[in-house]
Structure 1
Amino acid sequence: MGNIARGGQVSGLPRYLEGARYSAQWAGMPYPVYAGYKGQNDLSDDINVRSRTINYLSGGSVFNPKEPGLGVPLEMSMALHSDAGFRTDDRIVGTLGIYTTHFNDGKLAAGTNRYASRDLADLFLTRLQQDIRSTFNADWTRRSMWNRNYSETRLPAVPSTIVELLSHQNFADMRLGHDPKFKFTASRALYKSILQYICTQHNKEYVVQPLPVHNFSVRFGKKKNTLELSWQGVDDPLEPTATPREYIVYTRIGRGGFDNGVRVSNPFHTLKIEPGIVYSFKVTAVNRGGESFPSEILAAYKSKHEKARVLIINGFDRISSPAVINTPDEAGFDLTKDPGVPYLYDISLCGSQLNFDRKEAGKRLGESGNEYERIKIAGNTFDYPFIHGKAIQTVGGYSFTSCSDEAVENGSVALEEYPIADYILGLEKTDGNLSRATYYKTFSSSMQRALTAYCRSGGNLLVSGAYIGSDMNDSQGNREFTQNILKYRFDSSLQVSGEHIGIQGLGRILSIPRLPNERAYPVTTPDCIRPMATAFPVMTYTGRNLPAAVAYKGNDYRTFIMSFPFESIREEAGRTAVMASILHFFSTGNAGVHRE
């Protein structure tokens, strides 16, 4: 919580939600740096402390030689803002750049012409527009570059600019602004601009850090008690220098933390394991520019008394903004329908939107509650093979490995090698995002072909996900796959209130979170599904008698389909009991699985 007392008390907010003035004080800046107005005007201090901190840190360095300070060679400053302003025609407001030349006789502290700040602003705006337009179906606007007298561009001793990234008051801007993929693209564009600027100043070539790897898989090795990891590096179509040169493989044992990693030259790695322990892995790509974001986390386990093997397929890689409302009369984001899927977590939401009236644009459109202030809303951790795997381990007698859904779709992992497959779909669904290359379909065409072949070869398939019915109800071909192969059909989306959703079946009463919270991603409106032919319901939503899971026991193959995510079951004992019933059903018949 905040720990700078003002008016005799602290704010009660997390420190990361407090202003720059308090952050600078907590970081140990001298009093004149963070309190130039002697505690009488926190707003002005908050604005000015950003520049004063830069100058104090860089004071005495070659870039700020005359000002006393800590001698840190800071070369530039960029302030990232959002702007106000709205449009009524659904067009994007876009990005504005601000710099200041009419100060200190047009010179910076090192004697550099202040027009270097204009060059810096130009780099940011050019790269942002280029990358956003290339990545999203959006006509991103490059606005003006203002030569104006702003504190954050006037006071710094080094080249500085304000980037007004987008308008927080304009629906078209925020439709992208809430999207985690947009946040990554914009952040990477800013990073590349900074890198280009600094390297240009020193007449050096720059190299951009790689993108995350994909097609990750873990399988048992040819030698006893070994695992073979493989993946593929990704080239960046927007940046030719971002080619991976090496990789780092990080390992986690049990519930511990990840180690410091092992650097490898090729996109594969073999290691020895000890039976009876769950191992988890993530991989990053590396080049001279740095290290990529990590891959999804996969897990593996070798049972000491193995009777069967399970392949866990991670198909939940969706990250998304909240559900969009975009009609002639209304615009905004419906958190009650779908609050979105943050990358790891989200601290940006105040509460659910209350006013959607387009006539109120610039006035009350976008007004929200405050129920999510202070909450670090849980999102996609990309670590769900571990949760599924721990349940499998606890059941006993089953080993497991895991892979990404891409590895199954492209055939690098053969499902037929495993008697049981567990397909994780979480909150995966087609969501209408504006990205040109992002596809979150629950069952892609290639996955449908792979699962069809697997079932017809006698496999046992577990599928769990909140939108496995509604997302596949968009075409006759998709419906035929779910009805004829997986043996279920879409009924409706569950509409309930309350903090949790109750589920009963398999001799237990379970609960999953329905509202945004800090512990696990919310399942707001999961599907209700109906069994086909000889399949039968095995779990229902409490109080509604609507099926939440169906099972099929055929002479050829078996399926167990859950229309809510397995990993969202709150209690670990509940997850273990459900997994035990499913594995027994696959292995021995109907043991533990009965018509609900």
Structure 2
Amino acid sequence: YRVYISNNGKGFGDGLTVNDTTYTFTGAANTTYYFKISAVNAGGESFTTSVVAARTPASPTSNASYLIVDGFDRLSPMVLRNEGSILGNVRRMFLERMNRYDYMVDHAAALSNCGAAFDGAQNEAVIADMISLNGYAAVDWILGEESTADRTLDATEAAKLTAYLDAGGNLLISGAELGWDIGRAASANANLNFYNNYLKANYIDDDAGTYNFTGTSQFFANQSGTFDNGSAGIFDVDFPDRISAVTGAELLLNYSGGTGDGAAVGFRGNHRVVYMAFPFEAITDPAIRSTVMCNAVSYLTPLLPATGLSLKAQSGKAGNILQWTTLTELNTQRFEVEKSDDGFNFKTTGMRVPAKGNSTTVTAYEAIDPQVWPISYYRLKAVDKDGSYNYSNTVVVKADTKQHLFVVHNPVQSILPVQVQSAKPYSLQLYNIAGIQVYQQKFDAGTQRLQIAVQHLPKGVYVLRFNDGQVQEQVKVILQ
């Protein structure tokens, strides 16, 4: 056999020859690795397997908490393409459009951004009992566009998932045809017991008629995203299922446009599940993929170091007030507050709140962010003493619309980032501590994100002033 190893899942080095069916690879802590294998004999080398991924935990004594299972085997039909006036329409086999067999890369990259260590396997390995679901905090099962002919979940897979969920397991499962295959009473593969009672969904119909989705207040913070229509190089999700939640479950995502039905269902009870009726890997924006994945991780497994981590936020007189609780803590070191203006690209605020450390009762925390933006997204990074971490849910705070001037980052160095919303033309002035004006500029009405160069100014305290001829506002700025 030949084992190929990669740090990014796309570029693989020369294969390692292995004369056995096992190979042990030693890697660095908190690092994601990707693998694929081929068979070699006198006749040459076979195609490789699909790509599987694994991320090492922070501590050598810890185990992976997640298992990613790739169950997407289906090959889409050949592409009918016009090859000119002589050949005309010809059916071509473009393998990368039929199935790239590396969709675990997208799941692994997103899950890595959520701080979870994980193992990876093909679904055939689960069926053959080469790997057990038991012992994993959660399973991420990939189905892509697997459908009736290929079986989304056969009887063995469904039985193993049923036993895992009965034991209190947690499941993220995504695929465009799962409802059509096992949730539809007329299907030859129908498994309504598993679909209704374990995935907690009702199948409505096929084809949502859109490629867009939106979150809810409890998941994905009412944000929006898009999955591939064939133009993003993933695959065309042309018939995503339309679903609803059974009693006791809840809708987490809805389709935007088209039929407007449910796109994802969640359930938190004896087991937990997030079931997406379109393929997770088909989300076109990697940042949105990561945000959706981290929301799913928070929903399914509020992991150690802090379990039951729940964040909420609201605007206040002194700034945005963040409040959170944990149900239990074990060797938790601190909480870091991260912030974003778009809900996808988060940066640290510099606020670090020491954790209680070890607790078996509810513990409450609070922090205030004095830097108010028009729209602020927040999440917490819970860090353990061994360096492992996980993220909370994402929350959003909208500022008082009466405010016009917002300093995005403060203190600043070479660039002063400012956001202004004004219905009238306005001017900005910057004054040093002596009251001397060092900057002035006029702007048209509207909402604008500005980058004011201040690298030529001495370090110190300044005042930035907004004036639209009727309203004046000012913010103190520290130049470091």
**In the alignment, residue 97 of structure 2 is paired with which amino acid?**
A
Aligned counterparts, 1:66-105, within 5 A: none
* Offset, 1:256: 5.8
One-letter code aligned to 2:21: P
Evaluate the alpha carbon distance shift between residue 277 and residue 560 of structure 1 in structure 2; reply closer, same or farther with a 3 A threshold: same
Residue 455 of structure 2 aligns with which residue?
Answer: none
Aligned to 2:163: 453
Q: Pick from 239, 250, 256 the counterpart of residue 536 of structure 1.
A: 250
TM-score by length of 1: 0.46
Residues 495, 447 of structure 1: alpha-carbon distance in 2 compared, 3 angstrom cutoff: same
Aligned match of 1:391: 110
Residues 152-184 of structure 1 deviation map (CA, whole Å, 9 limit, x = unaligned) = xxxxxxxxxxxxxxxxxxxxxxxxxxxxxxxxx
Q: CA deviation at 1:386?
A: 1.5
Which one has the bigger strand percentage?
Answer: 2
Give the Cα–Cα distance (whole angstroms) in 2 for the partners of residues 548 and 518 of structure 1: 20
Maintained 8 Å contact 1:254/1:277:
no
Cα distance in 1 for partners of 2:96, 2:6 equals 25
Structure that is richer in helix per residue: 1
What code does the residue aligned with 2:50 have?
Answer: E
Shift of the 481–520 alpha-carbon distance from structure 1 to 2, 3 Å rule, reads same
Q: 2: distance between equivalents of 1:294 and 1:259?
A: 13
State the identity %: 31
Show the counterpart of 2:370.
none
Residue type of the partner of 2:143? L
CA contact (8 A) 1:462 1:560 kept: yes
Bigger radius of gyration, 1 or 2? 1
Where 2:72 maps in the other structure, the secondary structure is coil
Corresponding residue SS for 2:139: strand
Please give the secondary structure, in 2, of the residue aligned with 1:443: coil
Q: Distance in 2 between matches of 1:256 and 1:317?
A: 19
* Counterpart residue type for residue 482 of structure 1: Y
Answer yes or no: is 1:493 the counterpart of 2:206.
yes
Q: Is the 8 A contact 1:378 1:518 kept in 2?
A: no
Letter aligned with residue 241 of structure 2 = D
Deviation at 1:477, TM superposition (A): 5.4
Paired amino acid for 1:550: V
Task: Indicate if the aligned counterparts of 1:376 and 1:518 stay in contact, CA closer than 8 A.
Answer: no
Q: What's the CA shift for 1:307?
A: 8.7
> What amino acid is aligned across from residue 57 of structure 2 in structure 1?
S
* Structure 2, unaligned runs of 5 or more: 303-307, 311-392, 396-480
Once residues 294 and 426 of structure 1 are traced to their aligned partners in structure 2, the CA distance between those partners, rounded to angstroms, is 19
Q: Which whole-Å CA distance do the structure 2 matches of 1:376 and 1:394 have between them?
A: 29
Is residue 3 of structure 2 the alignment partner of residue 249 of structure 1?
Answer: yes
How big is the shift at 1:382?
Answer: 0.8
Against the structure 1 CA distance between its residues 487 and 568, is the aligned structure 2 distance closer, same or farther, given a 3 Å change threshold?
Answer: same
- Matches of 1:272 and 1:251, distance apart in 2: 12
Pairwise CA distance, 1:494: 2.2
Name the count of aligned residue pairs: 294
Q: Which runs of 5+ in 1 are unaligned?
A: 1-246, 322-341, 352-366, 432-439
1:527 to 235, 241, 262: 241
Structure 1 residue 376, shift from structure 2 partner: 9.3
Q: Where does residue 260 of structure 1 map in the other structure?
A: 14
Question: For the Cα contact (< 8 Å) 2:263–2:276, is it kept in 1?
Answer: yes
- Contact persistence 1:409–1:446 (CA under 8 A): yes
Aligned equivalent of 1:580: 294
Q: Deviations over 1:248-271 (max 9, x none)?
A: 001111356101111011111111
Letter in 1 for 2:11: G
Distance 2:394 2:275 in 1: 12
The verdict on how the C-alpha distance between 1:414 and 1:278 changes in structure 2, with shifts beyond 3 A counting, is same
CA contact (8 A) 1:421 1:461 kept: yes
The two structures, once aligned, show a CA RMSD in angstroms of: 2.8
Corresponding residue of 1:292: 46
Letter in structure 2 aligned against 1:424: I
Question: How far apart are residue 532 of structure 1 and its match?
Answer: 1.4
Residue 423 of structure 1: which of 141, 156, 165 is its match? 141
Q: Report Cα offsets for 1:325-354 as digits up to 9, x if no partner.
A: xxxxxxxxxxxxxxxxx6xxx5x5339xxx
User: Aligned residue for 2:73?
Assistant: 317
Determine the C-alpha separation between the residues in 2 that align with 1:394 and 1:457: 28
TM-score (ref. length: structure 2):
0.57
1:109-166: CA deviation from partner (whole Å, max 9, x where unpaired): xxxxxxxxxxxxxxxxxxxxxxxxxxxxxxxxxxxxxxxxxxxxxxxxxxxxxxxxxx
- What is the alpha-carbon distance in structure 2 between the residues aligned to residue 384 and residue 463 of structure 1? 14
The whole-number CA distance in structure 1 between the counterparts of 2:190 and 2:38 is 37
User: 8 Å contact 1:504–1:539 — kept in the other structure?
Assistant: yes
Cα separation, 1, equivalents of 2:309 and 2:179: 24
